[in-house]
Chains A and B, each alone.
Chain A
């Protein structure tokens, strides 16, 4: 396992622990995130927290190299669902989905140096009302 892999696993473990422990500290319950679209994720949230980098890495090769579109683990689809209801983004503040969690876990998120961090217009238009992002 690479150093990055160990760090990632540690961060994921910390998140899982934080999620289960109801400590007195405000951050013990995980980062507070803006509300996003309702509905189930493509995988179990626990699995996604730990393994979403692997899913994305596998899917990107299918799309870029083999031209398979609309894959199950597509970054654009992640953004569509998890974008903040307020401004349609997953980056910008610690309340935004990707940045909030990555700041909390102290893991750099490089995806959006190149990829769009805003939901596609069709996705925002069809977004139903929701309770919470997580």
Chain B
């Protein structure tokens, strides 16, 4: 090999190393940003929330309720002992006659009373703000049901069959809206949001309240929105517009 070839080889080798060093961090960052969702523990940088526009929510429409029942394998009946994760509520101001219809579910409080009262630690708030029941430690005492200002939690009174693989549920535990955590962890959105959009209402927006660029953050900044029973200072993740 002549000296010129050798110098060329050395140069090309060094150039390749330098190029690698410049590109590699970008590739690593890209991998980090596009890491498979659900592979890492959830982060406190995210605060999942929902914005419900009551002016778009139609009275008598139950698409979100039905979608929730389908997704989570709930029976869908409304006896006092049946689980209901979402309820449709119709309100009317008697003086003005103004009527609104809205879905009410677990409000995913930042300061959840259900977590405060739980004697076993089964009721807990995830880092990303989703309030859940760990059924493995729930003893079914129902303190959380009494503590919840929104009547969001249900107790499973009877043996269950036909559970969904992603949504285990059984007799003797308290349960409530999980914000479809099994879908959110995989990058999806809750079923009620999808059903509302599919029905053409688009009354529910789901997203990260901590991300200033998310649609929900922009909407919350632009319009007047309220948290139910804001006087309790539970700082709900679910907000309502037009109440």
Task: Find chain A residues with CB under 8 A from B38 CB.
Answer: 67-70
Pair A69/B165 contact, Cβ less than 8 Å: no
Are A67 and B163 in contact, CB atoms less than 8 angstroms apart? Answer: no
Residue from A60, A65, A67, A116 having most chain B Cβ neighbours under 10 A: A67
Judged by a CB distance under 8 angstroms, whether A115 is at the interface is yes
The reply to whether B135 and A69 form a contact with Cβ atoms under 8 Å apart is no
Q: Which residue of B lies closest to A123 (CB)?
A: B165
Q: How far is the CB of B115 from chain A (nearest CB, A)?
A: 13
Instruction: Please judge, given known A-B contacts A67-B42, A67-B126, whether A113 and B134 are in contact too, CB under 8 Å.
Output: no
Prevailing SS type, chain B contact patch: loop
**B165–A116 touching, CB < 8 Å:** yes
* CB < 8 Å neighbour of A69 from B124, B136, B160, B185: B185
A15 interface residue per 8 A CB criterion: no
A65 with B134, Cβ < 8 A, contacts A115-B163, A115-B168, A116-B168 known: yes
Bound CA–CA A69/B187 (angstroms): 11
Q: How large is the interface on A (under 10, 10 to 19, 20 to 34, 35 or more residues)?
A: 10 to 19
Per-position binary interface string of chain A over residues 55-71, scored 1 when its CB falls under 8 Å from any chain B CB and 0 otherwise: 00000101011111110
Q: Is A98 an interface residue (CB 8 A)?
A: no
> Does residue A76 face the partner (Cβ distance < 8 Å to B)?
yes
Given A67-B126, A70-B39, residue A114 in contact with residue B165 (CB < 8 A):
no
Residues of chain B from 163 to 202 with CB closer than 8 A to chain A in the complex: 163-166, 168-171, 173, 181-182, 185-186
Q: Which of B5-62 contact A (CB under 8 A)?
A: 36-42
Q: How far is A68 from B42 in the complex, measured between Cα atoms in Å? A: 7
Residue in chain B with minimal CB distance to A114:
B170
Number of cross-chain contacts by CB at 8 Å: 57
B71 at the interface (CB under 8 A from A): no
B128 near A: Cβ within 8 Å? yes
In the complex, chain A residues 58-112 whose Cβ is within 8 Å of any chain B Cβ:
60, 62, 64-70, 76, 79
Judge whether B65 is part of the interface by a CB distance below 8 angstroms.
Answer: no
Judged by a CB distance under 8 angstroms, whether A120 is at the interface is yes
- The answer to whether B165 touches A64 (Cβ under 8 A) is no
B165 touches A120 (CB 8 A): yes
A interface with B by C-beta (< 8 Å): 60, 62, 64-70, 76, 79, 113-116, 118, 120
* Chain B residues within CB distance 8 Å of chain A: 36-42, 124, 126-128, 132, 134-136, 159-160, 162-166, 168-171, 173, 181-182, 185-186
Other than the given A67-B181, A70-B36, A116-B164, 18 more pairs (CB < 8 A) read A62-B41, A64-B134, A64-B136, A65-B126, A66-B41, A67-B38, A67-B41, A67-B127, A67-B128, A67-B185, A68-B40, A68-B41, A69-B37, A70-B38, A113-B170, A114-B135, A116-B162, A120-B165
